[in-house]
Amino acid sequence: MRLSVIGCGYLGAVHAAAMASIGHEVVGIDVDERKIASLSNGEAPFFEPGLQEILSDGLASGRLRFSTDMADAAGAAVHFIGVGTPQQKDGYAADLTYVNAAVDALIPHLAEGDIVAGKSTVPVGTAATLAERVTPTGATLVWNPEFLREGWAVQDTVDPDRLVAGVPAGPEGERAADILREVYHPSVAKNTPFIITDLATAELVKVAANAFLATKISFINAMAEIAEVTGADVTTLADAIGHDARIGRRFLGAGIGFGGGCLPKDIRAFSARAEELGRGESVAFLREVDAINMRRRDRAVDLVVSAFGGSVFKKNITVLGAAFKPHSDDTRDSPALDVAVRLHGLGAWVTVTDPEAIENARRIHPQLNYVEDRDEALRAADAVIVVTEWDEYRRELDPAHAATLTAGRLIVDGRNCLDADAWRAAGWDYRGMGRP
Ligand code: UDX
């Protein structure tokens, strides 16, 4: 099938390359000339495991190309909208500027029977508004949210755990659903659940999923706060409640909390939308989820500061991690970088290292000192704090070896990802989050 993907960021670029990898003929379109030039040259504009390979293969096969010209979308059977919906600068609501601009630019190139499939995360009700603009062209607007996780984006796109599509009622919607089944033929062939629903439900599924995940993380972080005043261990607690299949152990990792381009902005946009709908109280708990999450960053900073008797002024602190999570170079709303910036603000000499995210981090926070080599970054540190659980720190950093590099022996485990006993045995003062 011929497909177009409008927006070539984290979502769109992966979607375009993944669709080409399953046999479709795809054009990716973006207004950013540098991004399109880089993608056309076969260079992934960001770090995402597996993307480079499917990008190169797609270009080599001739099935994948990129363009800045919206006219190149003409002739595609399905047009995916994968542009960003960031948090508004002066509030919590989602900024729909890019979605609206993409749809407006696409409309002149649509033909009767085309499918416009929204993928971006939008406030519920957006799709219905867009449908009013798309319908007069004879095209059908559907909503097909994306659940990909950064770091696993290629796998999540090629082999998702479920597919969801909101379609209009009646034969037009049935036809659209059939076309989407053709698009996602490998998943359909292996009986991946494919939920066909209405537009509002499809939009809500996405925000509800992210709200649930954020709540799960803040729940365990709230337990970490209680553990901190009672001497309990939140990681053992998470193991124990996680054995209950109704609860499950995943997303019960207590630490410095969630960040990134999705969860924080999505729960805020959801709250803002619920208030517009007169149902603010229904999701009032999300404000608390957000507040708990932000408090964990304070707690990580406090752990370092209190270990030094109340001041980190002129202390050398090495921050291991900058990305909001491992296997990503994304530093958008990164709790890791936030902790580094706060320590710097308190007068510490902060050195940050990360296997992939230094370039992005430096762009946003040039005031910090960045060192690529992990061991070099550890040299002469008075304290070390792990804020992104990369294997390079979690598995591959030997505490005895680290001790030969640093000046001090304080290790703060902001992700509860280290073997506390091993670090203590090597002479370190180990402090975790919600752990005695
Ligand atoms: C998330 C959703 O998982 C995905 O389905 C959606 O499409 C987009 O948003 P992503 O932002 O890539 O994906 O990252 P995710 O793996 O969900 O992690 C989000 C944040 O939560 C990270 O900062 C991570 O470190 C943190 N986290 C995750 C925890 O603090 N504890 C956990 O147990 C799990």
Whether 217 and 152 map to the same domain: the answer is no
Q: What CA–CA distance (Å, rounded) separates 314 from 117?
A: 53
Whether 410 and 268 map to the same domain: the answer is yes
Whether 346 and 386 map to the same domain: the answer is yes
Cβ contacts of 49 within 8 Å, gap of 6 or more: 151, 152, 154, 327
pLDDT band at 435 (very low <50, low <70, confident <90, very high): very high
Q: Which pLDDT value is given to residue 308?
A: 98
| 110-138: average pLDDT | 97
Catalytic residue among 16, 217, 262, 417: 262
Q: Which pLDDT value is given to residue 118?
A: 98
Q: What CA–CA distance (Å, rounded) separates 382 from 316?
A: 5
Task: Give 259 Cα–ligand 1 centroid separation in angstroms.
Answer: 7
Active site residue 417: no
Measured CA distances, 320 to 69, 296, 332, 334, 423 (Å): 41, 17, 17, 13, 15
Identity of the residue numbered 10: Y
Q: Tell which of 196, 229, 251 closes a domain.
A: 196
Whether 175 and 204 map to the same domain: the answer is no
Q: Which pLDDT tens digit goes with each residue over 213-247? A: 999 999 999 999 999 999 999 999 999 999 999 99
Whether 214 and 190 map to the same domain: the answer is no
Closest listed residue to residue 307, CA positions, set 432, 214, 157, 158: 432
Whether 74 and 191 map to the same domain: the answer is yes
Whether 436 and 309 map to the same domain: the answer is yes
Lowest mean pLDDT among 88-97, 104-113, 421-430: 88-97
Q: Tell which of 163, 196, 229 closes a domain.
A: 196
pLDDT band at 175 (very low <50, low <70, confident <90, very high): very high
The CATH number for 169's domain is 3.40.50.720
Q: Which pLDDT value is given to residue 112?
A: 98
Write out residues with Cβ below 6 Å of ligand 1. Answer: 146-150, 210, 213, 217, 251-253, 255, 257-260, 262-263, 324-325
Per the structure block, which two tokens stand in for 58?
């797609």
Q: What percent of the chain has pLDDT over 70?
A: 100
Whether 143 and 211 map to the same domain: the answer is no
Q: For atom 26 of ligand 1, which residue has the closest CA?
A: 258
Q: Which pLDDT value is given to residue 367?
A: 95
Grouping H, G, I as helix, E, B as strand and the rest as coil, residue 300 is helix
Whether 192 and 263 map to the same domain: the answer is no
How many residues would you count in the chain? 436
Q: What is the Cα 20 distance to its own chain's centre?
A: 23
Q: In the chain, what is the straight-line distance between the N-terminal and C-terminal CA atoms, in Å? A: 57
Q: Which pLDDT value is given to residue 172?
A: 98
Q: Tell which of 128, 163, 196 closes a domain.
A: 196
Q: What CA–CA distance (Å, rounded) separates 112 from 131?
A: 14
Which helix (H) or strand (E) segment holds residue 215: the answer is helix 199-230
Q: What percent of the chain has pLDDT over 90?
A: 100
Whether 143 and 212 map to the same domain: the answer is no
| Whether the predicted model's global pTM rises above the 0.95 cut | yes
Count of structural domains within the chain: 2
ipTM of the complex: 0.97
Whether 252 and 295 map to the same domain: the answer is yes
Q: Which pLDDT tens digit goes with each residue over 134-161? A: 999 999 999 999 999 999 999 999 999 9
Using most ligand atoms within 8 A of CB, pick from 47, 147, 325 the residue to mutate for ligand 1: 325
Per the structure block, which two tokens stand in for 396?
């591959």
Q: Which pLDDT value is given to residue 281?
A: 98
Whether 175 and 217 map to the same domain: the answer is no
Q: Which pLDDT tens digit goes with each residue over 345-372? A: 999 999 999 999 999 999 999 999 999 9
- Tell me whether strands 78-81 and 115-118 are parallel, antiparallel or unpaired: parallel
Q: What CA–CA distance (Å, rounded) separates 409 from 399?
A: 10
Place of tokens 């209950």: 244
Cα maximum dimension of the chain: 71
Task: Give 417 Cα–ligand 1 centroid separation in angstroms.
Answer: 16
Measured CA distances, 436 to 400, 419, 432 (Å): 22, 13, 7
Per the structure block, which two tokens stand in for 142?
């559907």
- pLDDT, averaged across the chain: 97
Q: What CA–CA distance (Å, rounded) separates 82 from 73?
A: 14
Instruction: Say if CB 119 and CB 3 are below 8 A apart.
Output: no
Q: What CA–CA distance (Å, rounded) separates 412 from 434?
A: 12
Q: What CA–CA distance (Å, rounded) separates 400 from 146?
A: 43
Task: Give 154 Cα–ligand 1 centroid separation in angstroms.
Answer: 16
Q: Which pLDDT value is given to residue 399?
A: 98
The string of DSSP codes covering 144-187 is ----PPTTSHHHHHHS-S-EEEE--SSHHHHHHHHHHHHHTHHH
pLDDT band at 379 (very low <50, low <70, confident <90, very high): very high
Domain that holds residue 140: 2-196
